[in-house]
Amino acid sequence: MTDLSPSLTLNDIRAGADVLRGVADDTPLVPSPYLEAQFGQPFWLKLENMQPIGAFKLRGALNAVANLPDGTAGVTCCSTGNHGRGVAYAAAEKGMRAVVCMSELVPQAKVDGIRALGAEVRIVGRSQDDAFAESRRLVAEEGLVEISPFDDPFVIAGQGTIGLEIMERRPEIETLLVPLSGGGLAAGVALAAKALKPSVKVIGISMDRGAAMYESLRAGHPVEVAEYASLADSLGGGIGVENRLSYPMCRALLDDVILVTEEEIYRAMQTLYYEDRIVAEGGCVVGTAAVQAGKLTLTGPTATVITGRNLDMDVFTRIVSGRDVILGDVTIKGMPYGA
């Protein structure tokens, strides 16, 4: 793809906003009276689960596909689910072939959702790295253009429009809690938010097993991590050892990174459902999970991104019913809400 400068700017994000206008922009930013009462500060939810594909990933995918060279035959990507949906949707809008590569750990509901949008799906290995290798093979052997889920300038700029919308609508916000995986969302949101309000704090939140960006930031360079089944499956996968954009941007722009347990994610999914009537993936609720668990104290108006709703409804039903959930070799004991 045609590259931008490694140093993205607010202008790149505003250009992305022009691409998305009327298709994937202006999702609701709603207050949560319950969370405000619990945490003692105004608390806002950016509802990216209301996107046409049910997840924020549509923003970056649409922006990336819109900036492809003329004559591009098709696109490929590796994905834990939502990026694949976004690429499939964006490619279908252009009448373009899309091949989405995924590991065996991706829930079947997400695989089915991508196929329903007209994309081909390749299931390869048990890690995001295996899926990435297949995507690279398709680039080399079939001439497809790869769209990274996080390490692409147009993807990052597209995701950054979320930060733009939040801060333009609620400039009083002092802290943003952003789910953190490969870092495309966190990097874009942090860039936009801090360009508009340098004092705003942007905190990345991830699960405590297999958090690739967290481990990379600790190591001082991108590293590979083991992957595990998680309620926050959309946050799984590596960041790529040759990461050139999202890692340095997260290192420069994030004020902190916090990890939460599966039990804390379970509780936060229940809270969002019972108190705000929102169906959300485990990866969406890590921000509220961190606050509920006492892992950070809020000092002013706060917002978090509810990133998607594309989850296994059987698992979700078990969670809101307070029943056990099995994740690979780990069982999360049932916890009735309010108990």
Question: In the listed set 95, 126, 146, which residue is the last one of a domain according to the structure?
Answer: 146
Provide the residue range defining the domain that includes 138: 57-146
Q: Coil, strand or helix: which one is 43?
A: strand
Confidence of residue 227 (pLDDT cuts 50, 70, 90): confident
Confidence of residue 126 (pLDDT cuts 50, 70, 90): confident
170/303 Cα distance (integer angstroms): 9
Q: Are residues 308 and 294 part of one domain?
A: yes
pLDDT at 2 over 60: no
Confidence category of residue 137, pLDDT binned at 50, 70, 90: very high
Based on the fold, state whether residues 73 and 137 are members of the same structural domain: yes
Q: Is the pLDDT of residue 157 over 50?
A: yes
Q: Please indicate, yes or no, whether residues 209 and 70 belong to a single structural domain of this protein.
A: no
The position carrying tokens 């950016």 is 46
What pLDDT sits at residue 259?
98
Residue 5 confidence (pLDDT) above 50: no
Average pLDDT over residues 303-315: 94
Q: For the chain, give the percent of residues with pLDDT over 90.
A: 85
Structural domains counted in the chain: 2
| CATH number of the domain within which 104 lies | 3.40.50.1100
Can you spell out the DSSP letters for 13-36?
HHHHHHHHTTTS----EEE-HHHH
Domain closes at, from 146, 168, 203: 146
Q: Looking at 146, 178, 198, which one is the last position of a domain?
A: 146
Residues 250, 142: one domain? no
Instruction: Report if residue 161 sits inside a domain.
Output: yes
31, 64: one domain: no
Q: Give the pLDDT confidence score for residue 161 in this predicted structure.
A: 98
Q: 103 φ, ψ to 5°?
A: -90, 170
Q: pTM for this one?
A: 0.93
Q: Are residues 218 and 115 in the same domain?
A: no
Q: pLDDT tens, 50-76? A: 999 999 999 999 999 999 998 898 999
Q: What is the pLDDT of residues 247-264, one digit of tens each?
A: 999 999 999 999 999 999
Is residue 140 in some structural domain?
A: yes
Query: With bands split at pLDDT 50, 70 and 90, how would you rate the model's confidence at 6?
Result: low
* Burial (CB count <10 Å: 0-12, 13-18, 19+), residue 6: exposed
Q: Using alpha carbons, list the distances in angstroms from residue 23 to 44, 96, 150, 218.
A: 23, 18, 21, 38
Q: Do residue 159 and residue 34 come from a single domain?
A: yes
> How high is the pLDDT of residue 238?
87
**pLDDT tens per residue, range 90-118:** 999 999 999 999 998 888 888 999 999 99
